[in-house]
A = this chain, B = another copy of it.
């Protein structure tokens, strides 16, 4: 099978190339790039030398020759390519936000400032979070546009899903306080990602106005069956890979007692019960790891892998569930999840090409 990547020279595109080069069911890569058209991928990314080699073509050429097409373009410019793929009976897996909001064009437009070009394509699209929508992805029988989730939403939704699905969450606001490694900002050099400005520093950004807010909220609502008040704050951390989401979920049975004493045995027992529920919820998921009680999820335990690690905690009063959810932003948060979606679409082993053992360092 030939896999195509449109926008192969951005970081997510290059990570797709890296992972697809080792995929057992993929035997050819078709790549496009506007900035480097005519050049070769291994010149743009010399780390690929001797491992992945391909000319960078036009997107149209990729669509003609590839069997499945991944698109790693900016928001709002890929619908034509999606349409072309569908017309040719080829799955289109889109890493932009264009197909993450389904028929809710109003929300997409409000946050992204663009309209849908071909609204009817949403009948074929599905939000590609396998742990939430695996059956829907399969049910499209290959005639499918996958809206691959955003990096923060992936961590947030996977962290909150069991609590929301099982009615543990009370009516209060869920706060998702998250941080990302700097690869999340992409390959274009800007001051915010200039080494001397971001090394040895921690920076919140787009506080109260990040576009992943509605993506998280609509999926929280889908899981909970009701609107869920949400505050989301992203930060930039001085590391290359990783997203960490610290998720605060007010429990339905919250009884605030104040921080007068350290956690009691009663609270430990309550934590264990929630932990058991999470472990059960995700027990068949190949990429979910609910860590043992007492462990804390940290970003460098999932590095280079498609895993999402989750740890379960309560505050000292037992009223607030605190879930730590970590992923590699470039893998489960982008390219890896896209390949997981491809595997589901084609009925491959879900971890085909995604079997790397996480590297501690």
List residues of A whose CB falls within 8 A of some B CB.
Answer: 11, 14, 18, 21-22, 45-52, 107, 110-111, 172-173, 175, 177, 179, 181-183, 187, 189-191, 193-205, 207-209, 213-214, 216-217, 227, 229-233, 235, 237-242, 244, 246, 248, 250, 256, 258-263, 267, 289, 291, 295-305, 307, 311, 313-317, 319-320, 322, 324, 326, 330, 355-361
How far does the Cβ of A172 sit from chain B's closest Cβ, in whole Å?
Answer: 7
Counted per complex, copies of this chain come to: 4
- 13 additional A-B pairs beyond A202-B239, A202-B242, A208-B315, beta carbons within 8 Å, are A14-B360, A46-B301, A47-B305, A110-B260, A194-B194, A199-B199, A199-B200, A199-B240, A200-B240, A200-B299, A217-B258, A229-B317, A230-B259
A-B CB proximity, top 5 nearest: A201-B300, A189-B189, A207-B313, A47-B358, A177-B177
A172 touches B175 (CB 8 A): no
- A110-B261 contact, Cβ under 8 Å, with A200-B361, A231-B320, A235-B246: yes
A194 touches B199 (CB 8 A): no
- A214-B357 contact, Cβ under 8 Å, with A173-B319, A203-B298, A299-B202: no
Find the B residue at minimum CB distance from A213.
Answer: B259
Complex Cα distance, B49 from A51, in Å, reads: 28
Complex Cα distance, B196 from A260, in Å, reads: 33
- A46-B295 contact, Cβ under 8 Å, with A194-B195, A201-B300, A208-B316: yes
A173 touches B214 (CB 8 A): no
Find the B residue at minimum CB distance from A228.
Answer: B258
B260 touches A248 (CB 8 A): no
A238 touches B238 (CB 8 A): yes
Find the B residue at minimum CB distance from A17.
Answer: B357
How far does the Cβ of A65 sit from chain B's closest Cβ, in whole Å?
Answer: 22
A314: which B residues are within 8 A, CB to CB?
A: 208
